[in-house]
Amino acid sequence: MPSSATPDILPQGEITFRGRGLAVMQGRRLSLKVCPRCSQRNDRRAAEQGHCHWCAYIPSLADAEPISPGSA
C-alpha cells in the first residue's frame, strides 16, 4: 500500500491529496484516478495499484483529505 505515514483513521470514498488529484479509498485500498502531481488521468491498472502511470508518483496517505459531498 502506498504511504510513507499512514494516519490512524483513513478517509473513505473519494479523496484528494491536499486539494489536488482524485482517488477512491475503500478500506485500506487506494485507487488513484487523477494524479495530484502531474494532473493526468491515470491508467486503470496503475490506478488500482495506487500510483501514477505518467510520473510514477506514489501518494502519501498523510496528505489524504475527504471530498465533501456536493463539492464535485
pLDDT of residue 71: 53
Q: Which of 20-34, 39-53, 56-70 has the lowest mean pLDDT?
A: 56-70
**CA–CA separation, 5 vs 67, rounded Å?**
20
pLDDT in tens, 28-50: 899 999 999 999 999 999 999 99
